[in-house]
Amino acid sequence: MRPGPSAYAIALPLSSEGPTTCTVYEPGSGTQIVFDSQSLNVRVECQLWASSQAGAGYLWGYERAAMPDATHVCALTDPQRKLTASVIEQTDFVPVSAADKAKGRSACASIAAAGWVEQTG
* pTM for the structure as a whole: 0.83
For residue range 36-77, list pLDDT tens digits in order. Answer: 999 999 998 889 888 888 889 999 998 877 766 788 899 999
The ranges assigned to domains in the chain are 12-118
- Scanning the chain, the segments in alpha helix (DSSP H) are 43-51, 98-113
Alpha-carbon distance 83 to 39, whole Å? 8
